[in-house]
Structure 1
Amino acid sequence: MVLSLVSLCAKEVVGDHSSSPSWLRWVPRELYRSLLEAAFASCRPLAVGELVQRWPERTLRVGGRRKQGQTAPNRLCIQAMLLAIVRGLSDQRCLLQLLDVSGLQGDEGGIGDPMGGWSLTVALCTMVVQARAGAQRAQRKGERERKRFSVLERERDVKRERGQIDQFNGDKTNNSERTVPGPAGEEELVKGVRRRMEIHKKSEQPGLGGGKTEEKHEDNEVLVHVRADLFVNARSWERVRVALNTSGPLNLQCRYLRVEEISVSSIRTLLDLLSRRGVLGIDIRYSNLGVAGLAELLPLLSTFPALNSLRLHYCNLDFRRDSQEETLRELSQGLANLQELRRLSLTALRLPGQLRVLLSSLPQPLEILELPYLSLSPADLAYLSCSHHTATLQQLDLSENRLDENTLTSIRRLLSQASSTLQHLSLSGCGLTDGLLGLLLPSLGCCCSLKSLALALNPLSMAGLMDLMKMAVRMPSLRQLLYPNPLEDYQPGLPDLPSSAQLLDWPLDETTDISATSSQLNRVLIDSGRSDLLLTCDLLNYDKDLVD
């Protein structure tokens, strides 16, 4: 990545923190963004804090999709930014009104000590609560100052009025020709003091006219809206609930909600606290929902008008165990109310033969459909290949669904219907042999928009793998290929048609030169001139989003 002259200069400027007092107050607002990016890239938390505390614009966005090779911001820099947000609430130079950290979180324990989703969520909630406490302390201090000022004013008024009465009485004794005032004269003076005290008291109350309060904001006034992706589990649930319930200078808004290992009632509580228009996606994982729990949540999900992504992973949904007709009808009605849904991910749901009931109820065609570990039947794949979703699919994941001769026709029809839109395809662990893959290769080669293809954990020989490579290099849009280790690389003893679990656990043969496989595949790349195609067999670190 080639840095611009502004970026290079910004990196040098933020590198010397001792000189910041001399240049920070003179830097134009147009350079703040470049300086902040350089501070994040160079891991300069002090510079990050100083820039954010006096941020000259109404919006600050940190995060989003990272470019290839770009790491997530350092944990210390993120913490410095959040502390500066709180300090900036009382800094007149800070104009910030919206902090958007959506997509900021990195992988826990990644390179450069990034802040993961759970840690970032906890830090944001802590920031919201601290800002509320700081505002309350400032308000109490202001009230004490106003009360002390009011007492002093009243004492001065009383002394002033007493002096006028003494002077009036002195004039009365010296001038016998004047009319002697009765008690009514003193009563008028006392009424004047009371009237001034009432006017001053009203001026202290907000909304009653008169003087202004010394505080920058009232207790319930929002100064900065904080938009983020929230990651909630049993350990952080209570802290997130408190932060979402807190009214104060910082208002926490959720874009994507991810929950893990919490009950249906806790999920309902979180959903009730979220802003209805801000939530774009909900991801529920490893939670014991059951079919009844999901049917209970779906009506609540339909109250989020912008919801376009729903992901359910390992939520103990077994349609074979529950009453199918009634529960499927409830789920179908609930999904029909999700008007903006474009992404649906269902992992390890036990619903063989019921895919039509779920997907046909969706009002809009899906763009992303992920169905791994669903034990899809030939009837399910036949429906999917003819459904109204096929022509709009950009991403399809059928991993760990067994494919054979009975489903081959449906898969070929599916690929043909989605050939112009499909960008990411995963058929890992589908039991594709050399023969089955050879029959699929013409259909795969017609996917003119395909950017990534995952075929890990399929029982392919080296000959089948070479046929795959010859097809891949002829696809100009393809940028990433996840290929399986060929059967020749494993130790002896594998069954004739090993499952994906066996291929995952079976050790590779140490006597075989594993690098020879990658060398042969790379030779095909070099001969075809395809330096833009990334080959990998690393299933754990495979990331299809790197090609976007």
Structure 2
Amino acid sequence: MVLSLVSLCAKEVVRDHSSSHSWLKWMPKDLYRALLEAAFSTCRPLAVGELVQRWPELTLRVGGRRKQGQTAPNRLCIQSMLLAVVRGLTDHRCSLEVLDLCGVQGDEGGMGDPMGGWSLTVALCTMVLKASVRTRRPQRTRREQRKKRDQERKRISALERERDLKRERGQKKRDGELNSNESSNVGERTESSGSVSEEDLSKGVRRRMEMERKRGRTVLGSSERETEEKEMDRDVVVHVRADLFVNGRSWERVHSALRTSGPLKLQCRYLRVEEIAVPSIRTLLDLLPRRGLLGVDIRYSSLGVAGLAELLPLLSTFPALKSLRLHYCNLDFRRVHPSQSEALAELSQGLARLQELRHLSLTALRLPGQLRVLLSSLPQPLEILELPYLSLSPADFAYLSCSHHTSTLQQLDLSENRLDENTLPSIRRLLSQASGSLQHLSLSGCGLTDGLLGLLLPSLGGCRALKSLALALNPLSMAGLMDLVKMAVRMPSLRQLLYPNPLEDYQPGLPDLPSSAQLLDWPLDETSDINLTSNKLNRVLIDSGRSDIFLTCDLLNYDKDMVE
């Protein structure tokens, strides 16, 4: 990456913190962004703090999607920034009103000491709680300034409305003078019907009032919640947007921060919860602002069928919700219980209320034969569908191949669902229907042998938009891998291929048709050259002139999002 002259100069400026007092007060507002980026990239937390405390713009965005090779911001820089936001509440030079930290978190323990999702959530909640205690009196200055601006805006609007009314009245007066003769002729009829008209009008008003009262009793909430949120926003100086990661250790802190009213208000874009009971999840959702939540990710929580059916109506109150992920949430429809059909009906009705849902991920929920009941109720076609470890039946694959979601799918994950001769026709039909839109496909651990893969290769090759393909933990031989790579080089959009280790690379004793778990645990043969397989496959790429395809068998470090 080639740095601009401004970026190079900014790095030199923030390098020496002792000279910041001499240049910071003369710095133009347009250069604050470049200086802040330089302070983050060179890990200068003191410079980060001073810049944020004087931030001259209304919005500050840190984070977002990082480019390949770019690391997350350093933990010390993030902490310094959060402290500076609190100090800026009492600093007249600070104009900050929106702090956007969505996507800023990195992997715990990664390169450069980034701040993970859990640590960032705790730090944000601590900042909100401290601000509510320390800055109650000074925050009134900025609040009063905003109130004066709103009052001035309302005064101007009122003057414009009054001017329009006067113009309209003048026009009506002129029209009345022109038609005075006609009005006198029909005056008697008007007087005779005037009482009736007034009575009808009063009845109509009373009826509308009764209907509004009934509507207010039946629709609990949405208007009342919006009114409450507007009332609370009057005291807010800075809105803080972030992705929140909540578990049992951080739940109390997050709960307190969301309930606290003060100069900082915490808003959530993506909510991820782990090992939290249904009542606690409900409490968090009730406290979140209705607008702005795009996704919910629930993991390792014993929701059960009843718990999920209880949460879905509450999720439907978030109008922008696009993503729902449920991982290992103890939903197992293989168990026989008397109210199974009623529970399925409730789940279907709850999913039908999610009007904007585009991403659905269901991991290890054990729903054989029930895919039609769940997916057919969704009002809009999905773009991302992840169904790993779902024990899908042939009927599920048959429904998926002809559902209304197929032609719009961009990402599809069917990992760890067994494929055989009975399900292969449905998979081929599915790939044919999704060939124009599908960009990422995972069939890892599906039991694909050389024979099954050979039957599937023509359908895979027809996916002209496919960018990444994952086929790890499938029992393929070296000959099957060669056929796979020869097909891959003919796919113009393909950029990543995750292939399995060939059966020849494992130690002796492996079963004839090993499962994915056996392939994962069985040791590789140390006497054979593991790099020989990689060299042979890469030779096919070189001979075909496709050096733009990345081949790997590293399942743990594979990331489809690395594809630009």
Q: TM-score, normalised by structure 1?
A: 0.84
Superposition deviation, residue 139 in structure 1 = 8.3
Aligned to 1:263: 277
Aligned to 1:329: 345
SS in 1 for 2:360: strand
Aligned to 2:312: 298
Superposition deviation, residue 534 in structure 1 = 1.2
1:283 corresponds to which of 297, 321, 334 = 297
Letter in 1 for 2:518: Q
SS in 1 for 2:26: coil
Instruction: Encode CA deviations 1:94-125: one digit per residue, 9 max, x unaligned.
Output: 11100000011111111111100000000000
Contact 2:440 2:467 in 1 (8 A): yes
Aligned to 2:162: none
Give the number of equivalent residue pairs: 471
Instruction: Encode CA deviations 1:247-274: one digit per residue, 9 max, x unaligned.
Output: 0000000110000001000000000000
Aligned to 1:412: 428
SS in 1 for 2:423: helix
Instruction: Encode CA deviations 1:35-76: one digit per residue, 9 max, x unaligned.
Output: 111111111111111111111110011111111111111101
1:12-411 equivalent positions in 2, closer than 5 A: 12-136=12-136, 221-321=235-335, 322=337, 323-411=339-427
Greater C-alpha Rg: 1
CA distance in 2, matches of 1:421, 1:367: 9
CA distance in 1, matches of 2:427, 2:552: 24
Letter in 1 for 2:306: A
Letter in 2 for 1:14: V
Contact 1:136 1:219 in 2 (8 A): no
State the Cα RMSD in Å.
1.4
Aligned to 1:4: 4
Letter in 2 for 1:495: P
SS in 1 for 2:507: coil
CA distance in 2, matches of 1:387, 1:425: 17
Superposition deviation, residue 541 in structure 1 = 1.1
CA distance in 1, matches of 2:487, 2:11: 45
Aligned to 1:489: 505
Letter in 2 for 1:239: R
* Ranges in structure 1 where 5+ consecutive residues have no aligned partner: 141-217
Aligned to 1:541: 557
Letter in 2 for 1:261: E
Contact 2:443 2:470 in 1 (8 A): yes
Superposition deviation, residue 486 in structure 1 = 0.7
- List, as ranges, runs of 4+ consecutive aligned residues in structure 1 with deviation greater than 4 Å: 137-140
Letter in 2 for 1:25: K
SS in 2 for 1:405: coil
CA distance in 1, matches of 2:120, 2:403: 40
CA distance in 2, matches of 1:518, 1:6: 43
Instruction: Encode CA deviations 1:211-237: one digit per residue, 9 max, x unaligned.
Output: xxxxxxx99611100000000000000
Letter in 2 for 1:33: R
CA distance in 2, matches of 1:16, 1:535: 44
SS in 2 for 1:282: strand
CA distance in 2, matches of 1:337, 1:219: 28
Change in CA separation of 1:139 and 1:547 when aligned onto 2, cut-off 3 Å:
closer
Superposition deviation, residue 16 in structure 1 = 1.7
Q: Does 1:513 align with 2:529?
A: yes
Letter in 2 for 1:108: E
Aligned to 2:186: none
Identity %: 85
Instruction: Encode CA deviations 1:125-171: one digit per residue, 9 max, x unaligned.
Output: 0000010011247589xxxxxxxxxxxxxxxxxxxxxxxxxxxxxxx
Superposition deviation, residue 495 in structure 1 = 0.3
Superposition deviation, residue 345 in structure 1 = 0.3
Q: TM-score, normalised by structure 2?
A: 0.82
Letter in 2 for 1:18: S
CA distance in 2, matches of 1:279, 1:307: 6
